[in-house]
Structure 1
Amino acid sequence: MSPEDSEETLPLLRTPDASVPRGRRVFLAAFAAALGPLSFGFALGYSSPAIPSLRRTAPPALRLGDSAASWFGAIVTLGAAAGGVLGGWLVDHAGRKLSLLLCTVPFVTGFAVITAARDVGMLLGGRLLTGLACGVASLVAPVYISEIAYPAIRGLLGSCVQLMVVTGILLAYVAGWVLEWRWLAVLGCVPPTLMLLLMCCMPETPRFLLTQHQHQEAMAALRFLWGSEEGWEEPPIGVEHQGFQLAMLRRPGVYKPLIIGISLMAFQQLSGVNAIMFYAETIFEEAKFKDSSLASVTVGIIQVLFTAVAALIMDRAGRRLLLTLSGVVMVFSMSAFGTYFKLTQSGPNNSSHVGLLVPISAEPVDVHVGLAWLAVGSMCLFIAGDPRALRCLLAHCCLLYPQCPFHADLRP
């Protein structure tokens, strides 16, 4: 039996008439789910201010050496990798809503373990738990939001996911400017706790309920999210449900967007942007910047602004143009930042470079002060060109191929 013959067509969801005012609860539900990406961003950005704080104010048993500091930042990605696998299973078996509720547990537990840490092992364990929650939230939240939104606002709400991630990073940077590592971890418990409270009042997505043959519950969820049925119009949007089979990979409409999506994500990760986010304050300290916390906050603000700009102009400028421009900007900015470190490092290998910029009698610190703008400027330019803001392309690349069997209900 072919995959086409095995497809199960589920009941139809009608599209609300754009001329009829819709209920606002869909925005509240989207905000509740988006607190997951906000918590995700906070967990990513937490290590940047926490590492210098742990080195300055922590008890001797918690002091981080170079190796421990490296693990403290990076181990969250190991948890996120496991969380992505776990989230993929949960989203189909437990549902979108329950998956979001469950991911609040490792978020709060992880930050609580960090708060109560008595040794470095507890610090790393807490980071691993928050990473696990990050992996689940980053997968489930976009699915929940896309399935509760009607087509007229699906793009708007979908673009808010990445905006909430970078907002969470900025929140960690700003809070880390005034809070030491332990109180910063306490603050990290707030967004997931709020998400838990709000999501308890939100419905499961109509699409998931339909796949479970809970038709009445699906219609009740639609009425809660979209308002009354008055003004809904045809033609309807069909919702299809089918399982994935390896034979589908022979179709160009499946393997082409799959390759594109995986390649974009791989290159984005290999660009080193996560290392920048994890160790921003440490990097600026190594660059001898006078106020590393202020520099990190500046980077966070730039990331939020350009993520918002990219979301606004993406449909007009085109994804390919923005991705190409992103790559050029990141190559230039990282080259400039590497040049800064080469010029300012103290050692015999680069003394001739230093001599080109300052008098022979000048101290190396003069070079640091004179070129501090290059460190901050190149880092801000790198963040401005970060293709994170274009990540929604991964969710929509299948729309380039009309024969793609996935997300059929999302096509215009």
Structure 2
Amino acid sequence: MTKTTILNVELQLVLSLTFGVATGYTSGAEIELMKDLDLSIAQFSAFGSLATLGAAVGALFSGKMAMVLGRRGTMWVSDILSITGWLSIAFAKDVMLLNFGRISSGIGFGLTSYVVPVYIAEIAPKHVRGTFTFSNQLLQNAGLAMVYFCGNFMTWRMLAVSGALPCIIQVIGLFFVPESPRWLAKVGTDKELENSLLRLRGRDADISREASEIKVMTKMVENDSRSSFCDLFQRKYRYTLVVGVGLMLIQQFSGSAAVISYASTIFRKSGKIKLLILFI
């Protein structure tokens, strides 16, 4: 595995960091943001939830966009939306610009949640593919921890700027990374496929075998992808569908998202409750 491949993967993981920052941003910024912009609890709650709405929109179109624009093109769109959103939040003077920024960044995160793991999986060698793909989730949690820590001494505007920095770094870095070889195989540009593999594996590497495997697998996937969305609800898939969707619903109904988004308030009020119990 070459240094180029490692640097490419690390560059994509940078964007995963800002995903974690966005998830925990409301916790670190809540008190100062509500005070500075004179927000009610309902307004701040709406601000926090708009990221989820935006992410749902972004995720809905992420697959199609990654096929049409390519992995790099989709990441550029994601970065631009995320930077626009973070800077809108950082310089917001009213609720309207604040909410616009939250929706814009949310759409960017929705695209990121799909295209970054896919790109990493498509450029990483087989023996480290699982490790690098797992790192996406690891960096998201690192971003979450970072915003919790920085929220103790940074203003809510500076926290928003710090969320935009990883996106800016990736925008610059995307000019120097190759497109996914598997996407290039799908659109039929064999020469670009080989050039992309040479950049990832090294100019002296023998990429003929891997290029052939990618072409064969791409054709197999295309032949198997003629089924429609309605085929998912066939009787033979019923058990798998119920288990898969059920696990996701249980995860969301556990309330983990609420705890992550409003951890500072939860811990602050829980401390008051403990003091009240001790006083009684």
Structure 2 residue identity aligned to 1:72: F
Summarize the Cα distance change of 1:212–1:46 in structure 2 as closer, same or farther, 3 Å threshold.
same
Whether 1:264 aligns to 2:247 is yes
1:36 CA displacement: 2.1
Aligned pair in 2 of structure 1 residues 200, 269: CA closer, same or farther (>3 Å)?
farther
- Match among 56, 60, 67 for residue 81 of structure 1: 56
Query: What secondary structure does 2:271 align onto?
Result: coil
The match for 1:46 is 25
Aligned residue number for residue 84 of structure 2: 109
**1:4-403 counterparts in 2 under 5 A?**
22-56=1-35, 58=36, 62-227=37-202, 228-230=204-206, 236=213, 238-239=216-217, 240-242=220-222, 243-246=225-228, 248-249=231-232, 250=234, 252=236, 257-288=240-271, 364=276, 366=278
What one-letter code is carried by the residue in structure 1 that aligns with 2:227?
A: Q
Shift of 1:160: 0.3
Residue identity in the other structure for 1:208: W
**Does the 8 A contact of 1:74 with 1:278 survive in 2?**
no
Q: What is the DSSP-based 3-state SS (H/G/I as helix, E as strand, rest coil) of the residue aligned with 1:118?
A: coil
- Structure 1 length-normalised TM: 0.61
The Cα of 1:88 is off from its aligned counterpart by 2.0
CA distances 1:41-78 after superposition (whole Å, capped 9, x unpaired)? 1111111111112134x1xxx12211112112211100
Counting aligned pairs with the same residue, the percent is: 31
1:93-148 alpha-carbon deviations (Å, 9 max, x no partner): 11111101110111111111111111122212211111111101001111111111
The 1:259–1:141 alpha-carbon spacing in structure 2 relative to 1, beyond 3 Å, is farther
Question: What amino acid is aligned across from residue 277 of structure 1 in structure 2?
Answer: I
Greater RCO, CA 8 A, separation 6+: 2
The TM-score normalised by the length of structure 2 is 0.88
Partners of 2:48 and 2:249 lie apart in 1 by: 19
Q: Pick closer, same or farther for the CA change 1:197–1:90 going to 2, 3 Å.
A: same
Gap change, CA 1:218 and 1:128, over 3 Å in 2:
same
What do residues 224-252 of structure 1 show as CA deviations (whole Å, max 9, x unaligned)?
A: 11223349768956413323413753484
RMSD over equivalenced CA pairs, Å: 2.4
Taking the aligned partners of 1:170 and 1:148, their CA distance within structure 2 comes to 28
Aligned-residue offset at 1:262: 2.8
Which runs of no fewer than 5 residues in structure 1 stay unpaired?
Answer: 1-21, 290-340, 345-362, 369-412
8 Å contact kept, 1:211–1:241: no
Superposed displacement of residue 196, structure 1? 0.9
Q: Give me the whole-angstrom Cα distance separating, in 1, the residues matched to 2:108 and 2:63.
A: 13
What is the rounded CA distance, in whole Å, between the counterparts of 2:89 and 2:122 in structure 1? Answer: 35
Report if the CA contact (8 A) 2:90-2:161 is conserved: yes
Change (3 A) 1:262 1:53: same
Q: How many angstroms apart in 2 are the aligned matches of 1:210 and 1:241? A: 12
Paired amino acid for 1:241: V
**Conserved 8 A contact 1:73-1:279:** no
Confirm or deny: 8 A CA contact 1:41 1:169 kept in the other structure. Answer: yes
Structure 1 position 205, deviation (Å) = 0.5
Q: Which has the larger radius of gyration?
A: 1
Residue 357 of structure 1 corresponds to: none
Q: How many residues align?
A: 271
Paired residues of 2:70 and 2:179 also in contact (CA < 8 A)? yes
Q: Which amino acid aligns with 1:159?
A: F
Task: Please state how far the C-alpha of 1:197 moved relative to its aligned partner.
Answer: 1.1
Letter in 1 for 2:276: P
CA 1:89 to 1:163, structure 2 compared with 1: closer, same or farther past 3 Å? same
Cα distance in 2, alignment partners of residues 262 and 244 from structure 1: 23
Q: Is the 8 A contact 2:198 2:207 kept in 1?
A: no
Structure 1 residues 233 and 213: alpha-carbon distance in aligned structure 2, compared to 1, 3 A threshold: closer
Deviation at 1:257, TM superposition (A): 4.7
Distance 1:285 1:23, change over 3 A: same
Query: CA 1:367/1:226 → structure 2, altered by over 3 Å: closer, same or farther?
Result: farther
Counterpart residue type for residue 244 of structure 2: G
Q: Which moved more, 1:200-209 or 1:241-250?
A: 241-250
Stretches of 4+ moved more than 3 A in 1?
A: 230-238, 247-252, 254-261
Question: C-alpha distance in 2, partners of 1:74/1:169?
Answer: 17
Preserved CA contact (<8 Å) 2:194 2:207: no
